[in-house]
Amino acid sequence: MEEFIAQGNDEHPGVIPHRTTPGWIEVIAGSMFSGKSEELIRRLRRAKIARQRVQVFKPLIDTRYSHDHIVSHSEMRHESGVVERASEILKQVRADTDVVGIDEGQFFDNDLVAVANELAQRGVRVIVAGLDQDYTGKPFEPMPQLLAVAEYITKTHAICVRCGQPANYSQRTVEVEGQVVVGASDAYEARCRRCFVPHADEPTRYDEE
Ligand code: ADP
Ligand code: ZN
């Protein structure tokens, strides 16, 4: 299945092995709580069942729940490496890896686009999950660029906690400035277009039963 087109072997290290079959890029994008991590983990588990070699990476900034796993809000988990910069992913991907999963793509630098392209060019299936918009509703780089170059795109939706419609926005519920404020239900909630306001807003209150 694999072939060292570039004649790379142990005696001539540094030559990147290519497979005969092309790779591709899949992007899973949506708001917070929309199931991006769950969907990424589901795809990675299926690949492993099919005995494919899988490597997973997340950015150093996101060690909220674990240093060596990606973890969904529903507590699904999958082991992962942590990297500071996108270029480190290229250094860490092994020559025989079939599938590379990347979570929280929006927290990486713009090199992630070149890294994903390079891996796909080598024949790797690359799956990137990430927020497509920040808490003000602006496209969250580098996800928009990844969406442009990806072969396959999945848009996931949460449920608006105000009205129950499909939610496409991550509403910040604490008064903190800055595009990157790492948090979960303590700082964000899912909202639809109508219920979203592009700045920090009061958290939704639930009536006591
Ligand atoms: P993401 O990676 O997109 O932030 P996760 O995969 O980590 O999402 O978590 C999805 C899970 O979040 C759901 O299965 C559900 O258990 C939980 N969840 C919390 N709030 C919501 C909401 N408003 N709508 C849908 N799911 C929610
Ligand atoms: Zn709503």
Distance CA 54, CA 49 (A): 11
The answer to whether 68 touches 80, Cβ cutoff 8 Å, is yes
What domains appear along the chain, each with residue ranges and CATH number? Answer: 21-157 (3.40.50.300)
Distance CA 159, CA 45 (A): 25
Distance CA 107, CA 94 (A): 23
Residues touching ligand 1 (Cβ under 6 Å) are 30, 32-38, 72-74, 156, 158-159, 161, 190
Per-position DSSP letters for 161-200, written without gaps between them: TTT-SEE-EEEE-S---SS----STTTEEEE-TTT--SS-
Q: State pLDDT tens for residues 52-110.
A: 999 999 999 866 667 889 999 988 999 999 999 999 999 999 999 999 999 999 999 99
Could you identify the residue written with the tokens 């005995």? 51
Q: How far is the CA of 137 from the centre of ligand 2 (A)?
A: 15
Q: How far is the CA of 96 from the centre of ligand 2 (A)?
A: 46
Q: Which atom of ligand 1 is nearest to the CA of 190?
A: 23
* Global confidence as pTM: 0.89
Q: State pLDDT tens for residues 137-164.
A: 999 999 999 999 999 999 999 999 999 9
